[in-house]
Each structure stands twice: as structure tokens, then as C-alpha cells.
Amino acid sequence: MKPTRRNVLAATVLSAFVFMNNVNAQDKEGKFKDPSLNYAMGIDVEYGEGANGGKAHKQVFSELEEVFYQKKETIEIAKDFYVITGVGLNASFIVAPEGVIVYDAGENSEDGIRYKEEIRKVTDKPIKAVIYSHSHYVHGTKYITDGEEDVMIIGHPKVNYNMANSGGTGGSFPELQPLQWGRLIQQVQMYLPKEGDDSAVGFSLNYEPGGFQPVTKEVENGEMMNIAGLDLQFFTKGGSDTDDCLTLWVPSRNIAFTNNFAPMMPNLYTPRGADYRDPAFWVESIDVLEELSPEILINVNARAVVGKEEIAKRLSAYGDFLRLVMDQTLRGMLQGKGPEELRDFVKLPEHMLNTPELSQNYGTLTWYPPYIANIAMGWWNGDASTILALPPKARAERLVRALGGYDKVVELAKEAQENKELLWSMELINYLLVLDENNQDLLKWKGELMIETGYSQTSSIARGFLLSQGRGLTGKGPMPKNIAPQPFEIDKDANKFIDALRVRINPEATENCEHVIAIEITDSDQQLAGFHVRKGVCQYIDNINDYKFSTETTLKMDKETFLAFFTNPQSIEDLIEGNKIQIEGEQSTISLFKNFDAI
């Protein structure tokens, strides 16, 4: 038979299936280097149950107990040094000679109120300072400082900028904040029920209003200060999951406070999206801790570690993990491996596997090498045959045909599910969904597989995404979505969100348009901003009064209305009819906003 493109493709796919069948027998023994892949590809998993009934891999519960405090209480770690514990999130405070020094303020109002109550159970001394470990746990400050006088807010020089730019979530593109927040809510398991199989396991957060207060005293690396009669030293060198981390050192007591040594494998990539977390940068902060050689190490997320030798051993393994992942990823790239080939390339030595703070209770190793490779050299693996790739639909059409058609792919997906090869089953279903994206039977089946895969994992992040989306697809819970900004964010900088609207224009529908439109937020003192829309492009104009072209139309609205408009610009006619938006100038231009996406 003469070879054809179709025959070659079919032979290639069938060869891949023969290979997969041979590998499958090995997979049941756990042949992938990353355990998270083994758990979802045929290996038998023993399940455990959390306090609220949450179902997950049994291993994670013993790991969590070893590194996380298991209940909310206040513990005196050393004389006058206290940890206010939580399951995965702690705050700390020092009762100094002249007042209280607080390290971290929590995630929300609930945390801040509780921390203040716990402090007052111990002492009635005034609170003199709140110190931010980084820009994640800064949202309870208002509730800690209420009723106090002249409280110094101490932090890294980048905290205020990061909070203004992304609300502390990190990220290169502020325009993507609704997407980032939508992913964040899945990652921290906010969509999951309070009880039952699907309830949260591991690190999770609940949404409550926040009370961030900006840093009033920025500190430099190595800076010494006497606060409330106690000498303190601050270190900003390196970082971890943000670039604004601050380690606190109390030299008179050999006690360190940090966010950089976490109770889980360093989460170098977070699926919610954030700035690049450079392993070399993270190692610098671990080096600082090793040089300090503390006798007590107090951690934002973990149990405190006591004993100089034990701390040194754990810090050494933690820093070496970061070095190993970076160096072995680069080694794999030099061997010609691209992001996908690196997914299961790095193998950890036994001593790292046995280090409590390197367990996969949060992220998972399989995410990190592909991410580093992508940052280093982009998506391409260097093989010239892949430099031009088929779009997903074109690929799926050909693969499904080569595999024997729709019914055959369904059969293969069922077979994979029966063999507990959940990842392969979902991949096959995804090929079918590319061709038939609204097929409800396929979507429900995919959701069921997501939930089953979520139960198998030790990673709370993987479990959070899998269960959140799986519950949405099966009708057991809400379907995750992008999240609109909060009113306080509009209060702080409405023009930032006017700017963000520009990326949501449909260029094909506005190819023949040219308009200059201003948006005036009537209860804001920010300067008048707007857009110049021309030939499918929307250019943000920061100070439209000084723009070279005249404004045709001005839309006037208050902050509350702007939030509704930002969420769905296509609702503009309803907002006008309800007298929420007033128009000055040309009326016809409002139809332009029918061509902006809702979030």
C-alpha cells in the first residue's frame, strides 16, 4: 500500500497507543517521577477524610498534620513571642517592653478581628507596629489597628506598588485581573461546599471584606530599628511567591519570622497566574535564613520549627530543592527537551522526599520545569517540525478520524477510565469537545472525571481546580467564572479599569469605526480619561482633555454604575434608560459598546 499522509498519521497514532498500552502496565507500579501523575494514571489510591468530610489522597492528611497547625489557638513559642495559629495561615506577635509588634495581618476582616482579640487576651499594651511578610496577608490590618494610635505599618518597598497594581495577586497584565481572581477563587477552594466529599482539604481561604493599610515605613535589606524597646533587623534580599517578602530577625533572641520557608514544596508556578517565581531569587532568601542560623523559625503558613540543627537541616533541603529544579530543568533543555518533555523529567532524591516542608500538599512538581522552560525560551521545544503547529480544532479533527472516529474515541475514553487512567480519558474527551464544545453528555462526563481526579491528589491547588470545575460541569456547584473588581478597587483607581476595557473590543466588528469617547466618573477626582477607537483598535487616553483629537461623546456615571458597565459594557442601553449613565455629545456612538466583551 502506498504511504499517504492519512496512513502515516494513523500508523503514528496507533503506534502511540501500543506504546501507551505497554506503559500502562508500568504506570500501575508508579513509574512516573511525579507521584501526582501516578495517582491519576492507574495506580491504586487509598483515600482519607478531612475534618469536614473532604475526600482526598490519604497521604495528604498525615503531611498536613506534620507541617500545619490543626486548630485555631494562640501559642507562646518563647517568652513574649506568640503565634496565632490557623490551618495554613498564622500571624505572630511579640510583647516588647513598650508595646506589641504584629507580624502579618491575615487575609480578611475575620482574620484581623480574631488576631486583635487574641492579642488582647495576652496583653493590654498598645500595638506599635504591624509588619507585612509580603503582599498576600495584608488585608486584616484595619481591624488590628482600630482604636490604636500611631501604629507603624512596616513592609518591603514594593508592597504598596504591588497592592495598587494587582491587589497583591501578582501578574504582568492588570487587564487580566478578573481572570486571575476567577482562578484564585478556585485555587483556594472558595467554590467548594463546607461539608462532604467535596469540601476543602489543605490550604483554603474564605472571602470576607478586607482592610489593607499601606506601608508607612519601607525598610531596606539589613536595616536595623528599635521598635517598642526591642531591636529588630529586616531582610528584603530574595523572596518567594512574591517579590516583596520581608524576613524579620530578633538578634537578642535568635528568632526569625519569614514567609520564604513554606510548609510545602516551593510553589514555583501557580495556576491562578502570577509573576515569574525565580528559583534563584527564592534561594537568596533561604541563604539569608541559613546565615542567621535561628534557634526558632516562625512561619506565616507552617508550624514553627525549634532547634538550630533541625532548622538548618530543613533549610538546606529546601534551598537545594530550588537549586535542583532550576538546574535539572536547564540540563533537560540542553538535552533538547521542551516544556512538555520536561513535565516528568526532574526526580527528587530521597532526603528531599522525606523533608516535611517539601511535600506536594499545595502545588506539584510536574508544573515547575515546563514553566521555567517557557520563561527561558518560550513554548517551542526546538524541533523544527513543530515550529508551525496545527490549531486545536484542526488537530482534533485529524486525530479523531485517525483513531477510528467519534464512537471509537468514546470507547477508548471509557476504557481508559476503567483502567483508572483518568488523565488520558480526559484528554480523549477534550479532543471530542474541541469538535462539539456544547455536547452536554461529554461535558458532564468530563466533570465526573475531574472530580475523581481531584480526589486522587495530594495537591490542594490541583484538587481545588478539578473539583470546582468538575462540580460546575456536573451541576453540583456554580461554574467558575471571571470575577469583577470590588467597589473599593474602583474607589482607589477607576482609570485603571477604564484602561483595562480596551482589550475587550471585538476588532472585526469595529474595523470601520473611529470615535473618541470620554468616561467621566462623577464621584471621583481622577482626571478625565477615555478611548480613541479606530479601525478595530481601542487606545486608552489617560488625560483626554489634552488629546490631539476632540471628544465626540462623554459618558457620565458614578463608581457604582461604572462597576456594572465594566462588568458588561453591552448593558449600556439599559443603564442609560435607567438614568444611570448620562450622555453629552454624539448619541450614536454608544452602539460601539455592543462590541465589547462582558467579563
pLDDT in tens, 366-388: 999 999 999 999 999 999 999 99
What's the pLDDT at 29? 54
Cell numbers of 507, please?
476588532
User: Of 407, 442, 475, which one is at a domain's C-terminal end?
Assistant: 475
Do 453 and 527 sit in the same domain of this protein? no
Exposed, middle or buried by CB within 10 Å (0-12, 13-18, 19+), for 526? middle
What's the pLDDT at 30? 66
Q: What is the mean pLDDT of residues 345-349?
A: 94
The answer to the question of residue 92 being in a domain is yes
Question: What is the sign of the dihedral through the CA atoms of 259, 260, 266 and 271?
Answer: positive
The answer to the question of residue 358 being in a domain is no
Do 456 and 554 sit in the same domain of this protein? no
Q: Are 460 and 203 in contact (CB under 8 A)?
A: yes
Do 261 and 282 sit in the same domain of this protein? yes
What is the CATH number for 42? 1.25.40.880
The answer to the question of residue 367 being in a domain is no
DSSP state of 237: S
Cell numbers of 151, please?
501604629
Do 131 and 176 sit in the same domain of this protein? yes
What is the CATH number for 322? 3.60.15.30
DSSP letters, 305-359, are EE-HHHHHHHHHHHHHHHHHHHHHHHHHHHTT--TTGGGGT----HHHHT-GGGS
The answer to the question of residue 75 being in a domain is yes
Number of domains in the chain: 3
Residue 354 banded pLDDT, cuts 50, 70, 90: confident
The percent helix, strand, coil of the chain (3-state, each to 5) is: 45, 15, 40
Do 453 and 560 sit in the same domain of this protein? no
Q: Does 10 score more than 50 pLDDT?
A: no
Residue 164 banded pLDDT, cuts 50, 70, 90: confident
Do 38 and 151 sit in the same domain of this protein? no
Do 464 and 530 sit in the same domain of this protein? no
Report the percent of the chain where pLDDT is more than 90. Answer: 87
Do 424 and 317 sit in the same domain of this protein? no
User: Of 327, 353, 372, which one is at a domain's C-terminal end?
Assistant: 327
Do 108 and 21 sit in the same domain of this protein? no
Do 423 and 463 sit in the same domain of this protein? yes
Do 28 and 89 sit in the same domain of this protein? no
The Cα 303–Cα 298 span in angstroms is 7
* Strand ranges (E), 339-484: none
What's the pLDDT at 167? 73
Q: What is the mean pLDDT of residues 514-532?
A: 95
Do 167 and 269 sit in the same domain of this protein? yes
447's enclosing H/E stretch is: helix 440-456
Closest CA to 185 of 463, 564, 468: 468
Q: What end-to-end distance do the CA atoms of the chain give, in Å?
A: 53
The Cα 492–Cα 564 span in angstroms is 17
Report the percent of the chain where pLDDT is more than 70. Answer: 95
Q: Does 345 score more than 90 pLDDT?
A: yes
Q: What is the mean pLDDT of residues 253-260?
A: 97
Cell numbers of 580, please?
444611570
The answer to the question of residue 459 being in a domain is yes
Per residue in 54-87, pLDDT (tens digit) is 999 999 999 999 999 989 999 999 999 999 999 8
User: Of 278, 310, 327, which one is at a domain's C-terminal end?
Assistant: 327
Q: Does 316 score more than 90 pLDDT?
A: yes
> 591 CB contacts (<8 Å, ≥6 apart)?
none
Q: What is the mean pLDDT of residues 500-517?
A: 96
Domain that holds residue 275: 68-327
**Other CB atoms within 10 Å distance of the CB of residue 346:** 22
What is the CATH number for 565? 3.30.1050.10
